[in-house]
Structure 1
Amino acid sequence: MASTRGRQAAMPFIMITVLLDMMSIGIIAPVLPKLIGTFMDSGAGTSVAYGLAQAAFAIAQFFSAPLLGGLSDKHGRRPVLLLGLLGMAVNFFVTALATEFWMLLAVRVMGGAVCANIAVANAYVADITEPHDRAKNYGLLGAMFGVGFILGPVMGGILGDHNVHWPFLLAGTLTLLNCVYGYFVLPESLPLERRREFTLARANPFTALAQLRQLKGVEMLLWVMGLSILAQFCLHTSWFLYTEFKFGWTPKDNGLSLFAVGMMAVLVQGGLLRQFQKIMPTDKLVRIGLVSSTIAFAAWGLVPEGWMMYVIIAANVFGYMVQPGLQSLVANAVDPTRQGESMGAVSSINSVAAVLGPLMGSPLLATVSHFPQGDWRIGAPFYLCAAIQAVAAWLGLRYLGRAGNLRASAPAA
């Protein structure tokens, strides 16, 4: 019992770790396109190069995430998490000092290869919580993501308006401090009796995905999750340059927009999600969120004025419930001894989407970057996001609606 209480008490520690980690990522988000733009001679070139930089990180993470997840099942979550933090700190510092685009691209590959922080954090939460509490704790983890994106982008945007290198130096410093903090404070969450032997076969990202397909009821959820995440990554890759091309936004403006997104994430995932779960099941919240997100993507591409982006951010309340809800549904279908492996595989899905999103969104944005400010055609990547999310919503409505009907009819049967 003491060991269980200790692991449950570790939740605040992992939340702080995720907060500092996401703060660092948030700091560089508004200025990375600007930094890449210093190596390019046109908006279209910047858009394509930015997409390549994002895809390079994701490709490396796709192959490394299940490997690091499997290692965390054998050696524990703590050492893998610390390795990722140290690698990201090096990534930020070298990016700040890069003098050529190829240097930046190379260090992005290195950063992706060692960073499995999201997968390990998800496995950590699964280790220390009971199945019925996972949606709530994933929501709290999402809230920490939101707080990180409240503090980070505003700081990065303000610094980036003065010097595009400063945010990377600050992010590297915070990540290094986070690593030191974790070394001295963060406890291990995985007890020795629940550890598994490591094999390269299970660390193969394609093998990990195939194994998830064998879990009853998870395959369609993975399709919904994968398409939804693909739409999100396409959005993330396009957001900063889209708002610059269409509204003339600066890094500071983009930092403020992410501030608004972070505030909504904290409000919804840190509080409203739990309130809504008292009156309706998680799968129904996910269905509503998928539809809400589809409408929001299309609206972001259509609006003619920058202030309208904030209205949509605030209106898309249920959209912020989709990812923690889907993560909870998947985690509850997985054996407790395989959470690291399964979350590494889920992270591989994220990485596949993170590769495809930039490769789809960035070239599309480059083709419309020459249109005048305010032109609705600049929103082409967002219309693509809406189409992808619409497919996810259709699959989710069919599958989750059928599952809900089966549950409702079970007592009568």
Structure 2
Amino acid sequence: MLRPDDTTSDDTILNNTAPPQAPRRGAVAFIFVTILLDMLALGLIMPILPKLIEGFVGNDTAQAARIFGLFGTAWALMQLVFSPVLGSLSDRFGRRPVILLSNFGLAADYVLMALAPSLAWLFLGRLISGVTSASISTAFAYISDLTPPDRRAAVFGRIGAAFGAGFVLGPATGGLLGDIDPRLPFWAAAGLSFANALYGLLVLPESLPAERRSAFRWRAANPLGALRLLRSERTLAGLSLVNFITQLAHVVLPSTFVLYATYRYGWDTRTVGLTLAIVGVCAMVVQGGAVGFIVRRLGERGALMLGLSAGTVGFLIFGLAPTGMLSWTGIPAMALWGVSGAAIQALMTRLVPPDRQGQLQGATSSVQSMAQLAGPFLFTLTFAYFIGAGAPLHLPGAPFLLASALLIVALVIAVRALRAEERKS
């Protein structure tokens, strides 16, 4: 049994044999800025990309929606394929060159999309964006290199806040720029990525010494090969399954929340946008400021259980709340759910040696991409079925109740996996 104030108990259960280097503030700050700008750049083009596609197909909204869905699927597939490749390359050649080349590549890609004369060129740019954005897995490996195991959850939490900040600020800024010129958000995204790459050339040191690098193997650098790493150890396999289920549950928000809130509560676009912004801000506060405190008090395992339990309650509130005002009471619980992501990342890094951290993060990103591919179909079809005429029960909140059930399953698997590891030690 762990004591609430025991901050080292997890170290005796899940060990990483080689100690990392002392963290460098400038380098960790750069990784934070890199992920923030990557997410900000993605968010910048989010509100304008569907309109740009619509313009290429003669303002046919239905056709534009189908093509936009294809763009999203293609982007996720590129993430699935190239996250383990870039992760393995970073294990072989170091984190710095992979991160910097990806940043320069992302900047060039946004220039390509800003100048795209046709839908085919725009689609090509989206494919390249999926490849270069896959470097986020390398950024997480960089953090693992520099941060002691008992501090990783807190640092991963702060990095997670960058995701929230980018998605809160990006769409709002992109919408304003898109009103001026539909190509302007792409130029802004290119400028941000290029400036960040130049900044990295000046401040980003290499985090993986030559003696801790591993050979590049294509068997490990493809999605199926990367998943072998996740199955190589029982606790790691269990935590990877928990990660997949939680990522799958998260997809309910981008895939159905707008449709659900509009259908059930009659919200307009402004109210939906405000609610999503509040969700993002609350998540940023929790991940940026509360994760470290919670992990110190509960340990990484306790933080994981707390986060999954909070997410379960939050989704239940979203799915059952009869009014929009009551649904807002689920936002704090949903924000607290974010603690679980940082905790599970930290726990998994303890189970993999330093020379395979890039491969681990690549495999983890591939798992997340799988969830992003499967989730939209699962939740939109569930929503459509339970509001349809043939449904045995009219239940608009069914997708959120399903997400809540998934988190209960994840919680059970996490408890069993960590108890098995404790018995083994």
Same-fold call, TM cutoff 0.5: yes
Indicate yes or no: 2:92 matched with 1:74: yes
Q: What SS does the corresponding residue of 1:222 show, helix, strand or coil?
A: helix
1:297/1:95 CA distance change after superposition, 3 Å: farther
Indicate yes or no: 2:249 matched with 1:227: no
Q: What SS does the corresponding residue of 1:114 show, helix, strand or coil?
A: helix
Question: Which has the higher mean CA deviation after the structures are superposed, 119-128 or 292-301?
Answer: 292-301
Cα distance in 2 for residues equivalent to 1:46 and 1:241: 18
Give the residue type in structure 1 aligned to 2:41: S
Give the residue type in structure 2 aligned to 1:12: A
Cα distance in 2 for residues equivalent to 1:368 and 1:222: 31
Q: Deviations over 1:196-218 (max 9, x none)?
A: 22121121221111122112411
Cα distance in 2 for residues equivalent to 1:160 and 1:307: 31
Correspondence for 1:341: 359
Indicate yes or no: 2:35 matched with 1:18: yes
Cα distance in 2 for residues equivalent to 1:42 and 1:379: 27
Cα distance in 1 for residues equivalent to 2:395 and 2:113: 33
Contact 1:205 1:348 in 2 (8 A): yes
Deviation at 1:379, TM superposition (A): 4.7
1:277 to 295, 299, 310: 295
Indicate yes or no: 2:360 matched with 1:316: no
Cα distance in 1 for residues equivalent to 2:113 and 2:376: 19
2:102 to 84, 100, 104: 84
Deviation at 1:333, TM superposition (A): 0.8
Indicate yes or no: 2:183 matched with 1:171: no
1:256/1:280 CA distance change after superposition, 3 Å: same
Give the alignment of 1:278-317 within 5 angstroms.
Answer: 278-303=296-321, 310-317=328-335
Contact 2:154 2:292 in 1 (8 A): yes
Q: Deviations over 1:53-81 (max 9, x none)?
A: 22211111111111111111111111211
Give the residue type in structure 1 aligned to 2:247: I
Please report the TM-score for the alignment, with normalisation by the length of structure 2.
0.81
Question: Which has the higher mean CA deviation after the structures are superposed, 253-262 or 79-88?
Answer: 253-262
Cα distance in 2 for residues equivalent to 1:158 and 1:241: 23
1:57 to 75, 98, 115: 75
Contact 2:87 2:135 in 1 (8 A): no
Cα distance in 2 for residues equivalent to 1:167 and 1:127: 34
Q: Deviations over 1:71-106 (max 9, x none)?
A: 111111112112222333344344455576555443
Cα distance in 1 for residues equivalent to 2:234 and 2:250: 26
Contact 1:98 1:104 in 2 (8 A): yes
Q: What SS does the corresponding residue of 1:168 show, helix, strand or coil?
A: helix
Cα distance in 1 for residues equivalent to 2:262 and 2:135: 30
1:161/1:385 CA distance change after superposition, 3 Å: farther
Deviation at 1:257, TM superposition (A): 3.7
Q: What SS does the corresponding residue of 1:327 show, helix, strand or coil?
A: helix
Correspondence for 1:190: 208
Q: Deviations over 1:181-229 (max 9, x none)?
A: 2223322211122122212112122111112211241111111101111
1:280/1:378 CA distance change after superposition, 3 Å: same
Correspondence for 2:17: none
1:139/1:256 CA distance change after superposition, 3 Å: same
Correspondence for 2:369: 351
Give the residue type in structure 2 aligned to 1:147: A
Q: What SS does the corresponding residue of 1:316 show, helix, strand or coil?
A: helix
Cα distance in 2 for residues equivalent to 1:37 and 1:287: 44
Contact 2:110 2:190 in 1 (8 A): yes
Give the alignment of 1:332-411 within 5 angstroms.
Answer: 332-362=350-380, 379-400=397-418, 402=419, 406=423
Q: What SS does the corresponding residue of 1:188 show, helix, strand or coil?
A: coil
Please report the TM-score for the alignment, with normalisation by the length of structure 1.
0.83
Q: What SS does the corresponding residue of 1:280 show, helix, strand or coil?
A: helix
Q: Deviations over 1:285-310 (max 9, x none)?
A: 21222132133234334556555554
Q: Deviations over 1:350-400 (max 9, x none)?
A: 1111222234345556778999xxxx8555544443343333233234444
Contact 1:62 1:347 in 2 (8 A): yes
Give the residue type in structure 2 aligned to 1:385: A
Contact 1:331 1:339 in 2 (8 A): yes
Question: Which has the higher mean CA deviation after the structures are superposed, 97-106 or 361-370?
Answer: 361-370
Cα distance in 2 for residues equivalent to 1:390 and 1:47: 34
Correspondence for 1:145: 163
Contact 1:260 1:310 in 2 (8 A): no
Cα distance in 2 for residues equivalent to 1:36 and 1:364: 27
Q: Which runs of 5+ in 2 are unaligned?
A: 1-19
Q: Deviations over 1:91-145 (max 9, x none)?
A: 4344455576555443322221232232011100001111111112111211222
Correspondence for 1:27: 44
1:7/1:271 CA distance change after superposition, 3 Å: closer
Contact 2:154 2:295 in 1 (8 A): no
Give the residue type in structure 1 aligned to 2:354: P
Q: What SS does the corresponding residue of 2:284 show, helix, strand or coil?
A: helix
Contact 1:55 1:355 in 2 (8 A): yes
Give the residue type in structure 1 aligned to 2:229: Q
Question: Which has the higher mean CA deviation after the structures are superposed, 290-299 or 3-12?
Answer: 3-12
Contact 2:103 2:197 in 1 (8 A): yes
Give the residue type in structure 2 aligned to 1:285: A
1:35/1:386 CA distance change after superposition, 3 Å: farther
Q: Which runs of 5+ in 1 are unaligned?
A: none
Cα distance in 2 for residues equivalent to 1:162 and 1:305: 37
Cα distance in 2 for residues equivalent to 1:113 and 1:120: 12
